Structure 1
């Protein structure tokens, strides 16, 4: 009988101890901003309010996804950086799982064309290839200046 009670008591004590993966200050920042650790990786800013993050496209990061995320995952989702030939950042691009696109924090309309996602901001056109096995085929063009450069995933 004693052989069963001691291991059961030890397991009960271990199961009741809370695990603290983040510190209290960081947890409060997440709560105040409406971000989660996952949405923060996607660009949600913990230094902004819930309303500001909602305006930036993080309207309800804690809401569960209604349909299967494996079937709705898009190859375009993530953070992207358009660079000049000299290596300077031309634009920062964020694309969510529903293919909503933000260029330098401003929402732009995007469309799928021939296996790519294309969108414009001003005179600049951005093209991101849907097949992620192909490298070096994501690019931007500026029709006004006649320049072109690569787009890289962060």
Structure 2
């Protein structure tokens, strides 16, 4: 009986102790820098800088827009995309833009699917496929 009570008391002690996910030094760095754990871990915020330095870094990065207007051409397809990748046309007809993830978009319309790969500098690659059949090709990209 005594060992059972000791065992229960030990389990309750372990269960009630607070579990801190981060230590005090790391918490202080986060507060000083204005970062959260999420943006400090994904690289968008530097915990070794001050709030002002991180804010200045974000304001200069926001000036460049990789999702600006672009034109895609090949012998079979002429397409445009604009307005932050919300408006698109394929061979002069309205098309829909689908965001698959932060670095990959698709444009669907007029019997074609155009696939786009982007990074922080803009569009890195573009290709097209017919929705029926096996026709496909590479697109020449011109960003404005």
What's the TM-score bracket when you normalise by the shorter of the two chains?
Answer: 0.3 to 0.5
TM-score (norm 2): 0.45
TM-score (norm 1): 0.43
